[in-house]
Structure 1
Amino acid sequence: MKNPIRIHKKEILKRYRPIGAHTHKGIQGHALLIGGSYGKMGAMTLCSKACLKTGCGLVTVFVPRCGYRILQIAIPEVMVLTDIAVKYISKILIDFVPQAIGIGPGIGQDIETQTAIHRFIKTNKIPLVIDADGLNIMSQNKDWLTFLPNKTIFTPHQKELERLIGKWNSEVEKFEKTIAFSKQNNLIIVMKGAPTFIIDGEMIYENTTGNAALATAGTGDVLTGIITSLMAQSYEPIDAAILGVYLHGLTADIALPETGFQSFIASDVIANIGKAYLSLEK
């Protein structure tokens, strides 16, 4: 196994592109986020707000009908499309072409949702980020991996990773299995943890930002929104993953003096994305 490349500010500045003075929302990318189910609409609220705050020009969410009012009221800047089903996603129908798609936050594992995801990924060619129950559904249906666009980004925590690659007995074996899984399926794996590693075939990147404050509900949904936003802004998948993880961790480093570890919540990541960007421009 190669030594990981450590992701410091210097590495980030090679990849980061400041916003052009004459940009407009039409060229800042349109992201689509698919997810949510009854009782888990908060995941999509966090994900879509993070997506906007990371600089995406337009964000559309596709949610079950029960999520319509929640999203429209919680985040007026987001456009909302709804499923025919009330409590979960049953059929994914989209009437536009986004630049990137994030799928999975709060989506649940209802059998109809699994069928909907299967139908969707069989025809989708747009760059993709898969998280949460989207990953759990993929781990139960590994033959679907062949349908995914090259360099689709998976963002598993430890348990989700185990379901995808099987159990491991050591850190070395965990990395060997993840690298093999990434190469075999041409995927980028964001291995969430302390620290977070990004695996792209043989290439391993180790993030240097973040702290224990991030160990709280919803921070993964926020990360999905951040990475999807960067891909919609036409960053290459590997650069979107590296920059997204770095910014996400940096928000916790910036907020910590004010919040402490205990009172930091996922919304604080979103609230500090602007400051994280500003620190890159210094």
Structure 2
Amino acid sequence: MGDFCQIDKQEIVKRYKPIDKFTHKGLQGHALIIGGSYGKMGSVVLASKACIKAGAGLVTAYIPKCGYDIVQISVPEVMVVSDDYFEHITTINYEFQPQAIGIGIGMGQDPDTQQALHLFLKMNTTPLVIDADGLNILSQNIEWLSFLPKKTILTPHQKELERLIGKWSSEEEKLEMVKRLCLEYDLIFVLKGAPTIIVDNKSTYENTTGNQALATAGSGDVLTGIITSLVAQSYKPIDAAIIGVYLHGLTADIAYPEVSYQSFIASNIIETLGEAYLHIVT
């Protein structure tokens, strides 16, 4: 069966690393968020804003040209590199070395984008968090999993997971199928849902924070930004996943009494991250 652990405050405090008072942005990690396409630039705005809000020293967004003004104006703290093509990503070229990369959000599945992802995955050695269309493209090209750096974090929701591993008939079978893939390729899965479950080889972690307020558009994009940020800040991938899902859920628990389940949106997660951090350090 493997180990089972509930992610509670005690587990987070064990893993949380206080920030050195003499640190500077260059020591807090540079994260790269790759994604977006025409009509889906909001995903990159949310992920990159969450990434810097979660503590990364520097964040760069790599996007198609159509999103340049959108991201620059929406999140002035984030730098932007754009593809030459207007509507979607056709190549992935950047001239710096990030500490972590979050890829896939809002990027669509155009054949050019699939080709760009293929070439990127073959060349890349930087720690990765893969979400959304990144997962959908992988599910059509399952052999590409062998290109992923060890402990790459995949963050599928139920439908994305089904595309990756096929249908299951029970929760037990689902977890067994995920564990097999984890072991074969040495991956970490964040299975988004109620509750969110993290699988790392034979170990399973169940998150204890969060509520139905998180069932809203963009919530997963924000989670990708938070986890990528933590990896960039030199957390081990498993610790980044555990702290990330806990903080993400905690924002909904903190904000719910004032905002309600219905009116809580993905931007509220980002706005409440500071309070969530204070909750775990006090």
TM-score range, shorter chain: over 0.9
- Listed as ranges, the matches of 1:103-114 within 5 Å are 103-114=103-114
Other-structure match for 2:210: 210
Q: What letter matches 2:49 in structure 1? A: K
Other-structure match for 2:173: 173
> What is the CA-CA distance between 1:201 and the residue it aligns to?
0.7
- Distance, in Å, in 1 between the alignment partners of 2:275 and 2:163 is 36
* SS class of match (1:32): strand
Deviation string, structure 1 residues 205-256 (Cα, Å, up to 9, x no partner): 0000000000000000000000000000000000000000000000000000
- Distance, in Å, in 2 between the alignment partners of 1:254 and 1:3 is 30
Other-structure match for 2:157: 157
- Distance, in Å, in 2 between the alignment partners of 1:55 and 1:115 is 32
Other-structure match for 1:236: 236
Other-structure match for 2:219: 219
* SS class of match (2:254): helix
- Listed as ranges, the matches of 1:62-211 within 5 Å are 62-211=62-211
> What is the CA-CA distance between 1:3 and the residue it aligns to?
5.8
* SS class of match (1:5): strand
- Distance, in Å, in 1 between the alignment partners of 2:62 and 2:7 is 33
Other-structure match for 1:48: 48
Other-structure match for 1:260: 260
Deviation string, structure 1 residues 129-167 (Cα, Å, up to 9, x no partner): 000000000000011111100000000000000111110
Distance 1:32 1:165, change over 3 A: same
Give yes or no for the alignment of 1:270 onto 2:270. Answer: yes
**2:3–2:202 contact (8 Å) kept in structure 1:** no
- Distance, in Å, in 1 between the alignment partners of 2:18 and 2:265 is 28
> What is the CA-CA distance between 1:185 and the residue it aligns to?
1.1
Deviation string, structure 1 residues 8-35 (Cα, Å, up to 9, x no partner): 1001101001111111000000000000
- Distance, in Å, in 2 between the alignment partners of 1:2 and 1:99 is 30
- Distance, in Å, in 2 between the alignment partners of 1:59 and 1:137 is 24
Q: What letter matches 1:139 in structure 2? A: S
Deviation string, structure 1 residues 17-69 (Cα, Å, up to 9, x no partner): 11111110000000000000000000000000000000000000000000000
**2:188–2:199 contact (8 Å) kept in structure 1:** yes
> What is the CA-CA distance between 1:4 and the residue it aligns to?
2.3
Deviation string, structure 1 residues 109-134 (Cα, Å, up to 9, x no partner): 00000000000010100000000000
Q: Give the TM-score, by structure 2 length.
A: 0.99
**2:103–2:134 contact (8 Å) kept in structure 1:** yes
> What is the CA-CA distance between 1:2 and the residue it aligns to?
3.9
- Distance, in Å, in 1 between the alignment partners of 2:58 and 2:235 is 16
- Distance, in Å, in 2 between the alignment partners of 1:281 and 1:235 is 16
My pick for the range that moved more, 1-10 or 209-218, is 1-10
- Distance, in Å, in 1 between the alignment partners of 2:280 and 2:261 is 24
The alignment of Structure 1 onto Structure 2 pairs a total of residues equal to 282
- Distance, in Å, in 1 between the alignment partners of 2:17 and 2:143 is 37
Unaligned runs of 5+ in 2: none
Unaligned runs of 5+ in 1: none
* SS class of match (1:272): helix
Q: What letter matches 1:134 in structure 2? A: G
- Distance, in Å, in 1 between the alignment partners of 2:4 and 2:37 is 37
Between the aligned residues of both structures, percent identity stands at 65
Other-structure match for 1:4: 4
Question: Structure 1 runs of 4+ off > 2 angstroms?
Answer: 1-4
Deviation string, structure 1 residues 166-214 (Cα, Å, up to 9, x no partner): 1001111011101111111110000000000000010000000000000
Other-structure match for 1:35: 35
* SS class of match (1:231): helix
* SS class of match (1:23): coil
